[in-house]
Structure 1
Amino acid sequence: MGRKFIAERGPKVSKDRQPNNDRKTRDVRYTLDEAVEIFIRAKEAEGIRSSTIKGYNDTVRYFKDWLSAKVHFIDDISATNIREYINYLRTERLPYQGDTQREGTTKGLSVYTINIRLRNLRTIFRFLSTEGIIRANPTSNIPLVKDDAHEEVQGLTDLEVDAILASYEDKLFAQWRDKTLVLLLMDTGLRINEALSLAADQIDFKELAILVPSQIAKNRKHREVPISREVAKRLRQLLDETQQYFGDDCQLFMNAYGEDFTADAFRRRLNRLKKRLDIPKLHPHMFRHTFARNYILNGGDIFTLQKILDHADIQTTRKYIQMDKEHLRQQHNKFSPVRRLFNKNKGL
């Protein structure tokens, strides 16, 4: 009997070895948890920041809570599932659900929040599709949610700022610390995590500058941010007090128990203050927007502002400069060309 050999590669099948129709190819199938773990490990290997990793994990956790028992394997998640989830977030999900201090009563998350979650899901599924872990990307044809009524984040009015600062009792450490933090944010435009991570060696009291290291900055570039002499003086006082109570190695902003003061803790305190002062919205990022708007109103230029805010794209900086009706009236009254003509030529 002659020996068999393969002359050409290809889909040809030997006559005496027909395919067994009862044998099916068994693909490796991943659960949602298994697939996401592969994604997270890959992102950690890329050096993605822990805060970004947390965002991905939170997004998946919210999605899993909604999915419940609908699907088990990640390959079974369809575009229909994604669209149904988006509709749930728009019309049924309660803002801050589970947070007794912040939980809202109006159903439906903001378009901004929904799109953050959708962007994260798109990133995850695009990776899994590229890696061959899923056959098709269920988010490939799903656009971000649009909202014609969406407004950019507004800064605080002058009256709101005055009310906030007047509400703090300087004799109480926690309130004096909060007031100092508010003044720092409105003086520098720092992001809340950049401000709360400040240590003594990041503040140059002589040159009146704050160093934001690359490992903290959002764009991974270190920068120096100028501060006013008045705010620097308060920071010096706060640093002296915290070091006196908690040691020289402590951060600038600490809670009354000697633990790091966190962004979430500050948000909760602002939420209580918002209710007490009857302010519609109050969260840390509004102080950054307030700084940006007032910087321009006081004569600063947008290019310098871009550097201070650490924006890679100046279009992002433009979005921060949101002026209310009163600011528009003030600026028009100050710079109207026709008004200047009337002032110059009294006979018009």
Structure 2
Amino acid sequence: MSIEQLQDGRWFVDVEPIKGKRFRKRFKTKAEAVRFESLVRQRLVQDVEWNPKPKDKRRLTELVDKWFDLHGHTLSDGVRRKEILSALAKELRDPLGRELTGNQVNELRREQMEKGVAGKTLNNRLGYLKAVFNELYQLGEIDYRNPLERVRPIKLQERALSFLSLEDIAVLLEALDARDSSPHPPMIARVCLATGARWGEVEGLDPNLVRNGSVTFANTKSKRTRTIPISAELEKELKTHLARHGRFTHCMETFRRVLRATNLHVPQGQASHILRHTFASHFIMNGGNILTLQKILGHTSLTMTMRYAHLSPDHLQDALRLNPLVSTCSGSKLSAEGVASSLSRPEALP
């Protein structure tokens, strides 16, 4: 860059970057020439084409750490999620974040499936990894889009929900009452069965929130408080228990051991969640409203609650009344054999 005075008294500015367009212009005064040179210099510095930003060379583990510092620490399961993500990054050989590809993730997923890792677990890990890139891009921490945005989760076979019968409930509660190691599991189980709350929500129950014939759960998965009515008898038992033994402690493992010892059939991975399914299932079978159940369970989406709809006494009853093997003729119902016989006669055809 240069500014020089010409023979005619004007000032000449010549700005030439390393490559690209050259800027040359004449001015009547030196002040104008200096301002023009300064303006061109500033634009060249700001222009990405002339002043390219260095490529992000942070590896996946560094991005996971940054995600936790900026956002992950605010999540209720943030620490656990970070541990999963860090292990996943190492299994992927810790590539540069911007160079990670969907094929790398899919290949690792195939290897883990062959080792017996559950499909739901793999889908959760993919979701966690996608969330890292989405959040960092949203915060402006990275300048490239999610490299995994086109990777689809595994399509899983929907499993039928399992729940305990009244006889099963009696067996389970009797086994819990006979266990002397901890006084808390029997009471927690009863509160779960009476309210549909998650085991962890009951464990964190504040004794001061058991009042006026209800319990209020403040430490919920959705971060929203829920107040559920309970019977006067259960309220009295719960208050007495908390006054005598203090706040509930973490005792889920004790519950799991007792459950396994009863030999009750519970699908793998449900354990204490079977109590929540049992409440919801019996609620619907006894004629409860699906929208009321959604509020009790604290589901943000009705889709989750609809899993229990098939247990309703009148759910899809029209399938019995309107299916093609059931018809009304002169006030009587034709059997399947009758329908088949009618169709076999030529005169019966239109």
- TM-score higher than 0.5 here? yes
The verdict on how the C-alpha distance between 1:221 and 1:331 changes in structure 2, with shifts beyond 3 A counting, is closer
Q: Tell me which of 152, 169, 173 is aligned to 1:165.
A: 173
Aligned to 2:259: 274
Q: Tell me which of 13, 32, 56 is aligned to 2:60.
A: 32
TM-score, normalisation: structure 1: 0.69
Residue 308 of structure 1 deviates from its aligned partner by 1.2
Provide the C-alpha distance between the structure 1 equivalents of 2:289 and 2:105, rounded to a whole number of angstroms. Answer: 43
Provide the C-alpha distance between the structure 2 equivalents of 1:192 and 1:171, rounded to a whole number of angstroms. Answer: 18
Equivalent pairs, count = 281
Q: CA contact under 8 A between 2:164 and 2:274: conserved in structure 1?
A: yes
Residue 27 of structure 1 deviates from its aligned partner by 2.6
Provide the C-alpha distance between the structure 2 equivalents of 1:49 and 1:222, rounded to a whole number of angstroms. Answer: 17
- 1:286 lines up with 2:274 in the alignment: yes
Residue 194 of structure 1 deviates from its aligned partner by 1.5
Larger relative strand fraction:
2
Q: Deviations over 1:37-76 (max 9, x none)?
A: 222232158xx3332x234313303313422xx3443233
Aligned to 2:196: 189
The one-letter code matched in structure 1 to 2:69 is: R
Aligned to 2:346: none
Aligned to 1:317: 305
Q: How does 1:235-254 map to 2 (within 5 A)?
A: 235-243=238-246, 251=247, 253=248
The one-letter code matched in structure 2 to 1:177 is: H
Q: Tell me which of 183, 186, 201 is aligned to 1:179.
A: 186
Residue 139 of structure 1 deviates from its aligned partner by 1.0
Provide the C-alpha distance between the structure 1 equivalents of 2:178 and 2:263, rounded to a whole number of angstroms. Answer: 21
Aligned to 2:142: 133
Q: Which of 153-162 and 180-189 deviates more?
A: 153-162
- 1:155 lines up with 2:163 in the alignment: yes
- 1:198 lines up with 2:205 in the alignment: yes
Provide the C-alpha distance between the structure 1 equivalents of 2:53 and 2:75, rounded to a whole number of angstroms. Answer: 39
Structure 1 runs not aligned, ≥5 long: 16-23, 93-106, 244-250, 254-260, 339-344
Q: CA contact under 8 A between 1:156 and 1:286: conserved in structure 2?
A: yes
Question: Aligned residues: percent identity?
Answer: 20
SS across alignment from 1:4: strand
Aligned to 2:81: 56
Provide the C-alpha distance between the structure 2 equivalents of 1:269 and 1:188, rounded to a whole number of angstroms. Answer: 21
Q: How does 1:8-27 map to 2 (within 5 A)?
A: 11-12=20-21, 26-27=54-55
Q: Which of 190-199 and 25-34 deviates more?
A: 25-34
The one-letter code matched in structure 1 to 2:123 is: N
The one-letter code matched in structure 1 to 2:254 is: R
- 1:118 lines up with 2:103 in the alignment: no
TM-score, normalisation: structure 2: 0.69
Q: Which has the higher contact order (CA 8 A, sep 6+)?
A: 1
The verdict on how the C-alpha distance between 1:181 and 1:294 changes in structure 2, with shifts beyond 3 A counting, is same
The one-letter code matched in structure 1 to 2:153 is: L
Provide the C-alpha distance between the structure 1 equivalents of 2:284 and 2:82, rounded to a whole number of angstroms. Answer: 38
Q: Deviations over 1:301-320 (max 9, x none)?
A: 12221111112222221124
Q: Tell me which of 224, 228, 242 is aligned to 1:225.
A: 228
Aligned to 1:79: 102
Q: CA RMSD in A?
A: 3.5
Structure 2 runs not aligned, ≥5 long: 6-11, 25-51, 323-330, 332-350
Residue 14 of structure 1 deviates from its aligned partner by 7.4
Q: Deviations over 1:148-195 (max 9, x none)?
A: x33154222334322211212457261x42111111101001122221
Question: Whose radius of gyration is greater, 1 or 2?
Answer: 2
SS across alignment from 2:55: coil
